[in-house]
Amino acid sequence: MLCEDIELVLKDGAISQAKNLCRKGYGHFQALFIERTRPMIDGREVSLDQAISKAAEILKSAKSPLLYGWSNSSLEAQAAGIDLARRLGATIDDTSSFCQGILMELVLTGKVPTCTLDDVRNYADTSVFWGADPSNSHPRHLSRFAYYPRGEKRQKSYEEERICIAVDVRKSAMARLCSNYYFRVPPGQDAEFIESILAVLDGKIPRFGDKKRMIELGSVLKKTEYGVIFPGLGLVHSLQEKMDLLVGLVAKLNEITTFMVLPMVGHCNMRGFNQLLLDETGFINRVSFQGKTAVHGPEQSVMAAAKSCDAALVIGSDPVSALPFGTARALAKTSLIAIDPRRSLTTDAAKVVIPSAMYGLEAGGTSLRLDGVKIEFEPFFKSEHLSDEQILARIKEAI
């Protein structure tokens, strides 16, 4: 959520008090001091210069390198990464590829209407969390924007002027807060659920779900003044290639009233990368610069490229933990370079490890919040480590 009201008291090089950080944020800040990486080649500690040289050597001699990660790096580092990919004729991809990519593309290209989180706080009277559990993934979402705070047009807030609807396969922590506005949809049946909503919006009998509740949902949506749908991975993975069903629903809702869409992005600057790459190549992810023009497609996704590449640079991400077994194994077996502030399965599997400063805490830069708002970070903690940007510049130099 890139919260800007965090207050810290630093004492003797540690955080002695932190205000307003949720449990997730606090854990992230504490990680400053836990299992920091050291420069390594083949499991042996080396000097930073040696690690960077080796990384440059690997990338230079690779025929089809893959540059992956990016979602936790600053815009400045991402731009450097895209530039590096061009120079190397590499394939570049980020976490959106298996995460919110499909939806992000619709948002960034204007195929679905969107707004800012501040708009949500000021105007939204209905928020729909679909396949998302912000209480666990974005803990301060409800208290800062969607449900509990007062806004310009929502001075009476959750008590009288706001409702939250949860659509999910399970009664998540978020769903428990929605009480009778929680709709349970079995896995993979979101298309049917959307069909039923469209039916009630047209005054027809819905075929799926409890008829009375669906009709009630329809009337709530119709009475909404400013609605926002927040799709999470649950919905994106359920619909996949059928995302046009969601587009259709949003279009229908906008015939009746105002409804926006905001993707529940899990990484601090995934939107930044998608926007940058879109501006440069016309695609939000999965681009190969091997030929003269940028090529985009499933073969350029990390899922495919992990197997077809002969070297991979992973920055600020842990795909060996987060990707399916086959993909993770392919990455672990290739000439893997990991740039990361902290130890992970990816750094443990990597041939070369380059320690970096923690973005936002030790290194500054700019991010795009999930709603596109630019957030500038000023580092508050001194570190000996280089920022992502600086490391990429040195690799570029060595190449």
Partner 1 sequence: MVSAMEIYQLLPREACKECGYASCMALAVALLTREKKLEDCPSLLNPKYLEKFTKLKELLAPLEKASETGLIIHPEKCFGCGNCVVACPVNVAAEPTRCAVGLGPQGDRVILAVEDGVVKCMNIKECKRFGPDRVLCNACTVTCPSQAIEFV
Partner 2 sequence: MEAEVTIVAFQDIFQNEARKKGIYTDEYRQLSAQIILDKQDITRLGVKDGQRISVKNEVGGVVVAAKISDDDPHPGLAFMINSPWFNQLVRDDVCDTSIPGFKRIAARVSPSEENVTQISEILQRMRA
User: Which residues would be at the binding site for partner 2 (CB under 8 A)?
Assistant: 23-24, 26-28, 30-31, 34-35, 97-98, 101-102, 131, 133, 135-137, 139, 169-172, 184, 186-188, 233-234, 236-238, 240-241, 266, 286, 298-299, 301, 303-304, 320-329, 332-333, 343-345, 348-349
Q: Which of 50, 60, 116, 149 binds partner 1 (CB under 8 A)?
A: 149
CA dihedral sign, ordered 221, 259, 281, 56: negative
- Min dist. Cβ of residue 25 to partner 1 (A): 7
Report the partner that residue 282 touches, choosing among partner 1, partner 2, none (CB closer than 5 to 8 A by kind). Answer: none
Dihedral-angle region of residue 324 (phi above 0 means left; psi in -120 to 50 means alpha; beta otherwise): beta
The label of the residue with tokens 């619909």 reads 239
Q: Which of 68, 145, 230, 273 binds partner 1 (CB under 8 A)?
A: 145
Q: Does 380 help bind partner 1 (rule: CB under 8 A)?
A: no
Q: Does 25 help bind partner 1 (rule: CB under 8 A)?
A: yes
Contact 176, 59 (CB under 8 A): no
Contact 291, 85 (CB under 8 A): no
- Min dist. Cβ of residue 8 to partner 1 (A): 10
Q: Which of 17, 180, 255, 292 binds partner 1 (CB under 8 A)?
A: 17
The label of the residue with tokens 């795009």 reads 368
Q: Does 173 help bind partner 1 (rule: CB under 8 A)?
A: yes
Q: Which of 150, 184, 307, 329 binds partner 1 (CB under 8 A)?
A: 150
**Contacting range for partner 1; rule: CB under 8 A; set: 68-76, 100-108, 169-177, 224-232:** 169-177
Dihedral-angle region of residue 122 (phi above 0 means left; psi in -120 to 50 means alpha; beta otherwise): alpha
- Min dist. Cβ of residue 151 to partner 2 (A): 26
CA dihedral sign, ordered 68, 72, 75, 80: negative
CA distance 74 to 59: 22
Q: What string of H, E and C letters represents the secondary structure of 349-389? A: HCCEEEECCCECCCECEEEECCCCCEEEECCCCCCCCCCHH
- Min dist. Cβ of residue 252 to partner 2 (A): 24
The b/e string for 347-385 (b: 16+ C-beta within 10 A; e otherwise) is bbbbbbbbbbbbbbbbbbbebbbbbbeebebebebebeb
Of residues 174-213, which lie at the interface with partner 1 (CB under 8 A)?
174, 176-177
- Min dist. Cβ of residue 153 to partner 1 (A): 13
Contact 62, 290 (CB under 8 A): no
- Min dist. Cβ of residue 131 to partner 1 (A): 17
**Total binding residues for partner 1 by CB under 8 A?**
33
| Cβ proximity to partner 2, 108 vs 239, nearer residue | 239
Q: Does 143 help bind partner 1 (rule: CB under 8 A)?
A: yes
Report the partner that residue 128 touches, choosing among partner 2, partner 1, none (CB closer than 5 to 8 A by kind). Answer: none
Report the partner that residue 19 touches, choosing among partner 1, partner 2, none (CB closer than 5 to 8 A by kind). Answer: partner 1
Binding-site ranges for partner 1 (CB under 8 A): 5-7, 17-27, 121, 135-136, 139-140, 142-145, 147-151, 158, 173-174, 176-177
